[in-house]
Chains A and B, each alone.
Chain A
Amino acid sequence: MPALLEAHGLRKTYEGRVLLDDADLRLEGGVITTLSGPSGGGKTTLLRILGQLSEADAGQVLLDGVDVRTLMPRDARRRIALVPQAPAMFPGTVLDNVRTGPRLAGRDLPESTARELIVRAGLDAQFLGQDARALSGGEKLRVAVARALALHPEVWLLDEPTAALDAERADILVRLLRELARDGAPILVVTHDARALGQLGGRHLELSSGRLGAEPVARPA
């Protein structure tokens, strides 16, 4: 049974604004779901709640049918990769960064594996020894993807992953996501990139006025 992430009745308000209003979501294993909506409309908030970095005011998130609140937060997070739009790099080299997840769990990641992971994420192997914090936005994003790959997460959540990438690099990332989906992972990608939307295929959702819908919801004038 492929891993599955579900959300029921999510509600979140921030500074008086309703970002999520009774939002339901079901991410099936092996399916890429794309999500768009007006900026400031709660897409990032939704990813943060699904990725266990933020609590909803109401509602429930289920991972493989189990309420995430019954899991240790760190265990749930290891199973859910969350790649933000502008990932922060940790001090040290790209290799140090890619090794972070396994290190936190008390495991060592061989350099050869780290090299394979950054290549898979679309970065040349020569980046391994570079200072991660001196990289460009697009390079940092690919390091963040490699960092997440090192933990073999079951679910992927990505926020505008192609925004800082040129077409060629974006294609590599899209190919990787399709590969991960083929291996059974549910994937949610927030994106407004028409090219990526077309290539990723799968299911498309709109988040508008706090609700998730399959069709674009008409916004009040």
Chain B
Amino acid sequence: MSYVSVSLPQLLLSLGLMALAIAISSRNHLGLEKDLAVGTLRAAVQLFAVGLLLTIVFRNEHPASVFGVIAVMVVVGGWTAARRIAHGPGTGVLFRYATLAVLVSGVVVLVPVFAFVIRPPRWYEARLLIPISGMILSNAMNGVALVFERVFASVHDDAPAVEQLLSLGATPRQAVERHVRAAMNAALRPTINGLLTVGLVALPGMMTGQIVSGTAPDQAVRYQLVIMYQLVSVAAVAGALAASFARGLSFNDREQLRTFADRRVG
């Protein structure tokens, strides 16, 4: 099988699809024309920029450039997960813990797979390390964000009960056990649902991409399975780390519940 390439004029033709969406918006007075136009342009600029960056990294494949890109993913992931957390200790503090959780869970899940399962010809092979790390780290980021958001919000809402557990001699771990369990459950649920329905509703993106680019479906399936297992595992590790950090940040050294200023999140 050979790769079917898309020329720029052919790509421009696909803009007709966006024109169709804009026309529908206009005809039905949805008021989305501006967002659609901006989105069309923005998606193109962002993806061409990433494509350019990846082209440069692939051409000058070097451990420093490959791991530089991955490091940026970790930091941006940590920042994104730490933002918009109401009732927490603040983005500045959470950023450090979120980045650590994304980094550690990413290492735990990615290193063994690249060492034993998907073994790149070179250990810093950009075309394998960068896209797979991106998928895994973004799931770690979502897990951390969900756990932070849920633990801080539910402990805040349930503060009287948490404090009465403390009064009855509970350790901080015991006092917020219920909240942490619910948060971790919520963090794992979407990935588990993905695992249960994969292939039934839609073919996953990576598998689709591989098949389109000419990979035999059975190989594409094997890759996809490895990725799915990694996604579940990273959500579990990142969620557990985030839960442990959130619990630690919720109490002071006298095991008293800390109160945080309410932050408006929009």
Partner of A104, one of B165, B254, B256, B257: B165
Digitize A47-68: 1 where CB-to-B-CB distance is under 8 Å, 0 elsewhere: 0000111110000000000000
Check B256–A73 contact: CB distance below 8 A: yes
Q: How far is the CA of A74 from the CA of B251 in the complex (A)?
A: 13
For chain A, the bracket of interface size reads 20 to 34
Check B163–A53 contact: CB distance below 8 A: yes
Partner of B160, one of A51, A69, A84, A104: A84
The answer to whether A81 has its CB under 8 Å from any CB of chain B is yes
Check B167–A82 contact: CB distance below 8 A: yes
Digitize A200-216: 1 where CB-to-B-CB distance is under 8 Å, 0 elsewhere: 00000000000000000
Q: Do A78 and B164 form a contact, CB below 8 Å, given A54-B256, A55-B252, A73-B256?
A: no
The answer to whether A5 has its CB under 8 Å from any CB of chain B is no
The interface residues of chain B lying within 8 Å CB-to-CB of A51 are 167
Please give me the residue from chain B that is nearest to A150 by CB atom: B168
The interface residues of chain A lying within 8 Å CB-to-CB of B158 are 88
Check B169–A105 contact: CB distance below 8 A: yes
Check A88–B161 contact: CB distance below 8 A: yes
The interface residues of chain A lying within 8 Å CB-to-CB of B170 are 74, 104
The answer to whether B166 has its CB under 8 Å from any CB of chain A is yes
The interface residues of chain A lying within 8 Å CB-to-CB of B166 are 52-53, 73-74, 77
The interface residues of chain B lying within 8 Å CB-to-CB of A84 are 160, 164
Check A90–B165 contact: CB distance below 8 A: yes
Number of B residues near A (Cβ < 8 Å) is 19
The interface residues of chain B lying within 8 Å CB-to-CB of A151 are 168-169
The interface residues of chain A lying within 8 Å CB-to-CB of B171 are 74, 104
Name the distance in Å between A44's Cβ and chain B's nearest Cβ. Answer: 12
The interface residues of chain A lying within 8 Å CB-to-CB of B164 are 84, 87-88, 90, 144, 147
Q: Do A104 and B169 form a contact, CB below 8 Å, given A52-B254, A88-B160?
A: yes
Q: How far is the CA of A73 from the CA of B167 in the complex (A)?
A: 9
The answer to whether A191 has its CB under 8 Å from any CB of chain B is no
Check A77–B257 contact: CB distance below 8 A: no
Q: Do A100 and B165 form a contact, CB below 8 Å, given A53-B257, A73-B256, A74-B255?
A: yes
The answer to whether A101 has its CB under 8 Å from any CB of chain B is yes
The answer to whether A148 has its CB under 8 Å from any CB of chain B is yes
Q: How far is the CA of A147 from the CA of B164 in the complex (A)?
A: 10
Digitize B238-265: 1 where CB-to-A-CB distance is under 8 Å, 0 elsewhere: 0000000000000010111100000000
Name the distance in Å between A52's Cβ and chain B's nearest Cβ. Answer: 7
Check B168–A101 contact: CB distance below 8 A: yes
Check B254–A74 contact: CB distance below 8 A: no
The interface residues of chain B lying within 8 Å CB-to-CB of A53 are 163, 166-167, 256-257
Q: How far is the CA of A40 from the CA of B34 in the complex (A)?
A: 53
The answer to whether B26 has its CB under 8 Å from any CB of chain A is no
Check A73–B254 contact: CB distance below 8 A: yes
The answer to whether A168 has its CB under 8 Å from any CB of chain B is no
Name the distance in Å between B253's Cβ and chain A's nearest Cβ. Answer: 9
The interface residues of chain B lying within 8 Å CB-to-CB of A101 are 168-169
Check A78–B161 contact: CB distance below 8 A: no
Q: How far is the CA of A37 from the CA of B256 in the complex (A)?
A: 26
Please give me the residue from chain A that is nearest to B251 by CB atom: A73
* CB-defined A-B contacts under 8 Å, sample of 9: A51-B167, A52-B256, A53-B163, A53-B257, A54-B256, A81-B167, A86-B160, A101-B169, A148-B168
B residues with a Cβ closer than 8 A to A are 158, 160-161, 163-171, 174, 178, 252, 254-257
Given contacts A87-B160, A148-B167, A148-B168, 9 further A-B pairs with CB under 8 A are A52-B166, A53-B166, A55-B256, A73-B254, A82-B167, A104-B165, A104-B171, A105-B169, A151-B169
